[in-house]
Amino acid sequence: MVARRNWADKEDGSGMRCAWTVCYIENVSRMKIKRISVKSLSGPYSVVAGAGAIRCAPQEIASLGRFSSVHVISSPKVWRALGKTVQRGLQLPSRNAIHLFKDAEAAKNLRSLEHIARSLCRAGADRKSLLIAVGGGVVGDVAGFAASCYLRGVKLVHVPTTLVAQVDSSIGAKTGVNLPEGKNLVGSFYPPRLVLTDPQLLRTLPDREFRCGLAEIIKHAIIADARMFALLEKDMEKVLRRDRQSLHFLIPRNVQIKARVVGGDERESGLREILNFGHTFAHALESATRYRRYQHGEAVAWGMIAAAFLGHELGLTRADDVSRIVALIRRLGPLPPWPRVAPATLLHVMRSDKKSCSGILRFVLSPRIGQARTYDMVPIHAVERVLHLTPRLITASANL
């Protein structure tokens, strides 16, 4: 017996499952910049998305109020690639300070949080300062956590520079760091005041990181948008080439999906759990390999394959949907191999996942593409079977 939780949402006139507000604010290079509103318990904030959005930064930040100082938190790698572009776009005042830390997943820890907090203190940041996080998911998570607890909270703006951050991690107020015992076990819900999402900042992004972002886009399609899934099946080669028109549609569309979900459940007590499709498996893979084998999107890709297999094992996901999910994920390119870790070890890590309840594993599964639900009381033997068979099934199909 599998217990499940259902959530209803609304459809607009086009048939898309949605509850968002979009208004156009500027035309840059013949493509519209979109303003997408995200509901938050602390008040709504905007995601300004589109080519050239970084050039909107001065007026957008000015609309947030006056700040005693501006502090940019980034990584050496990101700042070398994009620092000059970001500084020109932000038109940073002379009294700003740049704070850099390593943005590898293995560095997403309490030591990095302390490093940032002490750097802010030495630079004279006070309660009226503004923090701007410039980087990918790790930078956003750690900088957001720092903003939430430095002087008990200072204002935050995100400038995401990876695809996964632009379509997923910069939206929704989650911040945090990892512990050796598991991923994201220490953190807070702390919404930014603004997110500036500019696909032009992706131009220096390595292909591997770009593909990681596409894994999160596939996740959104599986859980909420069957039409986008079909579009990805049709146009994946164009998307992989970073076709401008494709990104012009995909990035705002995924922001809209994330905004709808988190706007209805900021604290992850219900609907928001569907965003964790594949993540119970993914977090176990990352933790078991000490965050050194996979980039997050690669672990999510494996996790979605395993979640699709688990859904089929439980009689929830149809075989043709499983085939479509696996086939689309494999078109992203080769993944780092499944680790040689016993299923029992991965199960142990899963039980410490923040989504488990009293040691009971909970999984987000997709009964059909475009929908997802949380399922409790999933039989352990079914999970063990999936953990055992997933790498073998993928390896066998690759050799056909």
Statement: residue 24 has pLDDT above 50: no
Residue 150 CA neighbour count, 13 Å, CB half: 29
Statement: residue 216 has pLDDT above 90: yes
Catalytic annotation on 216? Answer: yes
Q: Give dist(CA 294, CA 304) in Å, integer.
A: 14
CATH of domain 39-205: 3.40.50.1970
Q: Give dist(CA 258, CA 220) in Å, integer.
A: 8
Statement: residue 3 has pLDDT above 60: no
11: nearest Cα among 224, 231, 187: 224
pLDDT, position 14: 34
Q: Give dist(CA 269, CA 273) in Å, integer.
A: 7
229: nearest Cα among 217, 212, 240: 217
Choice among 99, 258, 260, 312 that is catalytic: 258
* Alpha-helix residue ranges (DSSP H) falling in the chain: 57-62, 76-90, 110-122, 137-149, 163-164, 207-224, 226-240, 244-264, 279-288, 296-313, 319-330, 343-351, 380-398
Catalytic annotation on 174? Answer: yes
Please write the tens of the pLDDT for every residue from 80-94: 999 999 999 988 765
Choice among 248, 260, 283, 373 that is catalytic: 283
For residue 25, how many other CB atoms are within 10 A of its CB? 15
CATH of domain 1-16+213-255+264-400: 1.20.1090.10
Give me the residue spans of the domains in the chain. Answer: 1-16+213-255+264-400, 39-205
Catalytic annotation on 152? Answer: yes
pLDDT, position 398: 61
Q: Which tokens sit at 371?
A: 């929908």
Cα separation values, 200 from 46, 80, 169, 196, 252, Å: 19, 16, 18, 11, 14
Q: Give dist(CA 275, CA 374) in Å, integer.
A: 10
Per residue in 95-119, is it b (16+ CB within 10 Å) or e — as a string? ebbbbbbebebebbbeebbebbbeb
pLDDT band at 335 (very low <50, low <70, confident <90, very high): very high
Catalytic annotation on 184? Answer: no
Q: Give dist(CA 243, CA 239) in Å, integer.
A: 6
Catalytic annotation on 368? Answer: no
pLDDT band at 6 (very low <50, low <70, confident <90, very high): very low
Region for residue 70 given its phi and psi (left: phi exceeds 0; alpha: psi -120 to 50; beta: otherwise): beta
Tell me what percent of the chain is helix, strand and coil, each rounded to the nearest 5. Answer: 50, 20, 35
* Residue with tokens 């107020």, as numbered in its chain: 173
Instruction: Please state, for a pLDDT cut of 70, what percent of the chain lies above it.
Output: 88
Q: Measured in whole angstroms, how far is the alpha carbon of residue 95 from the centre of its chain?
A: 32
What is the value of pTM for the model shown? Answer: 0.86
Cα separation values, 385 from 1, 285, 354, 390, Å: 17, 16, 23, 8
Choice among 178, 184, 254, 276 that is catalytic: 276
Q: Give dist(CA 370, CA 381) in Å, integer.
A: 27
Statement: residue 265 has pLDDT above 90: no
Choice among 105, 209, 266, 268 that is catalytic: 268
For residue 388, how many other CB atoms are within 10 A of its CB? 12
Q: Which tokens sit at 315?
A: 């009689």
Catalytic annotation on 268? Answer: yes
Q: Give dist(CA 228, CA 235) in Å, integer.
A: 10
Choice among 152, 181, 340, 381 that is catalytic: 152
Query: What's the average model confidence in pLDDT over 112-128?
Result: 97
Catalytic annotation on 276? Answer: yes
pLDDT, position 93: 65
Catalytic annotation on 254? Answer: no
**Sheet order of strands, 97-100 included:** 22-28, 31-38, 45-49, 194-197, 155-160, 130-135, 70-74, 97-100
Catalytic annotation on 272? Answer: yes
Q: Give dist(CA 267, CA 275) in Å, integer.
A: 12
48: nearest Cα among 28, 68, 73, 69: 28
Statement: residue 12 has pLDDT above 50: no
For residue 144, how many other CB atoms are within 10 A of its CB? 26
Stronger pLDDT, 115 or 3, i.e. the higher one: 115
Please write the tens of the pLDDT for every residue from 224-262: 999 999 999 999 999 999 999 999 999 999 999 999 999
Stronger pLDDT, 359 or 373, i.e. the higher one: 373
